[in-house]
Structure 1
């Protein structure tokens, strides 16, 4: 029965990590914009947690290959994707 809480806790953790990327001015603007889009997707309560996570993963995987991304941001994005991959309905 604690599954919905676990999913929401994982999503909240992912949002916190993404927020750090958004607020990091050393990260290129397009990557920060994608992180903002991912946060927006994660906070869309009209969708199930798994769908929100999948949408965010799609956005993050697209930008994770950006050659201009600083290494620390890439690692953070990989961490977020790892967290979100565990979100199930």
Structure 2
């Protein structure tokens, strides 16, 4: 995948994380983790693929959290799918 395409996917994913972190129906601790994941995805010394993989693992934990609503869980799965296209080089 081209670098520009990966950057577009990352931008879309960070926007999704931002939207979820502002959603008042999402528990506060989950929203905080979403903000942290967004920062991890945007900033870091590691290559983009490694950052995306790291965020995917954290999102997987969130998807299995019993406090996450089914709607949010579906959004998390969608986000994970998008990031998987970035993590594969």
The TM-score, its normalising length taken from structure 1, stands at: 0.90
Displacement of 1:45 in angstroms is 4.7
Aligned to 1:21: 20
Cα offsets for 1:10-58 (capped at 9, x unmatched):
1111111111110001100121112112101110152211011011111
The alignment's C-alpha RMSD in Å is: 1.3
Contact 1:34 1:60 in 2 (8 A): no
5+ residue gaps, structure 2, are none
- Deviation string 1:60-85 (CA, Å, 9 cap, x unpaired) is 11111111111111111111100000
User: Runs of 5+ in structure 1 lacking a partner?
Assistant: none
Residue of structure 2 in register with 1:44 after alignment: 43
Distance 1:41 1:51 in 2: 11
For residue 85 of structure 2, give the secondary structure of its aligned residue in structure 1.
coil
Residues paired across the two proteins, number: 88
Ranges of 4+ aligned residues in structure 1 off by more than 3 Å: none
Higher helix proportion: 2
